């Protein structure tokens, strides 16, 4: 199972005529993070989105939450939490779960502003999320009209990573994908602010540190070790 997409070809694409924030972002990928970077020096950004539904092709972002992780610590000082103004009235079941209705609130940002804040925050960090493919897909769908392309970052999925830590299925470690709630129980993580983007990002960051600690004891010492298929 792969934990990331290398995007080697896409990383070399020209900057083009995109917004200034996107040109700044693309410049960061001229020099990739070395595979020999020790895990504790790797800049991770753990993030989550809440959306109007579960189809990235048609559903939209309601909120983004993100925190940085480096040197075995969660850095909340530079965390990101923003809700996005939606000018429609979709109230799908997914909206009911996280309780964010697509209506204007005083502190809402326009989608472009929220995306710029997110892109500037992540830079060329390794992106982390639980079932992160969905979150990246929905952000890329929103970015494409602005930039013509999507995120270039390598990424780690904590759902897949948990299977790497415990590859054998059974009563304790069931087969198939594990929910964030399942893993919170397994690793004794308090699921506070669950089903909010910021809350889920912090919970996932805590899970990441627990998983990395266990992998470190198995010889995963560098970025290349983490991103290698097993």
Is pLDDT at 126 greater than 70 in this prediction? yes
Domain count, the chain: 1
Residues 84, 108: Cα–Cα separation, whole Å: 5
**Within a domain: 201:** yes
CB 18 within 8 A of CB 146: yes
| Tokens linked to 201 | 């990002």
**Within a domain: 2:** no
Q: How far is CA 21 from CA 26, 116, 120, 125, 143, in A?
A: 9, 6, 7, 16, 12
pLDDT reported for residue 4: 44
Query: Which domain does 97 fall in, by range?
Result: 8-167+175-227
Residues of the chain above pLDDT 70, percent: 80
**Within a domain: 148:** yes
Average the pLDDT over 40-60 and give the result. 95
- Tens of pLDDT, residue by residue over 83-121, are 999 876 555 555 544 455 555 566 899 999 999 999 999
DSSP 86: -
**Within a domain: 96:** yes
pLDDT reported for residue 8: 45
**Within a domain: 1:** no
Instruction: Give the CATH number, domain containing residue 95.
Output: 3.30.420.10
């Amino acid at each position: 199972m792969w934990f990331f997409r290398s995007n080697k070809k896409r990383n070399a694409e020209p900057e083009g005529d995109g917004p200034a924030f996107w040109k700044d972002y693309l410049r960061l990928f001229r020099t990739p993070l070395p595979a020999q970077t020790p895990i504790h020096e790797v800049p991770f950004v753990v993030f989550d989105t809440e959306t109007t539904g579960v189809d990235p092709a048609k559903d939209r972002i309601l909120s983004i939450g993100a925190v940085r992780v480096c040197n075995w610590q969660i850095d909340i000082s530079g965390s990101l939490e923003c809700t996005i103004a939606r000018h429609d009235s979709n109230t799908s079941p997914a909206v009911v779960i996280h309780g964010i209705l697509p209506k204007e609130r005083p502190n809402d940002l326009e989608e472009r502003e929220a995306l710029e804040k997110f892109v500037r925050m992540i830079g060329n960090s390794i992106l982390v999320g639980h079932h992160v493919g969905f979150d990246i897909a929905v952000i890329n769908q929103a970015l494409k009209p602005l930039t013509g392309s999507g995120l270039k970052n390598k990424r780690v999925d904590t759902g897949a990573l948990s299977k790497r830590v415990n590859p054998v299925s059974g009563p304790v470690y069931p087969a198939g994908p594990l929910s964030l709630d399942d893993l919170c129980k397994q690793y004794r993580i308090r699921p506070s602010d669950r089903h909010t983007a910021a809350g889920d990002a912090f919970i996932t960051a805590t899970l990441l540190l627990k998983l990395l600690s266990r992998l470190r004891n198995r010889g995963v010492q560098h970025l290349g070790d983490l991103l290698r298929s097993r």
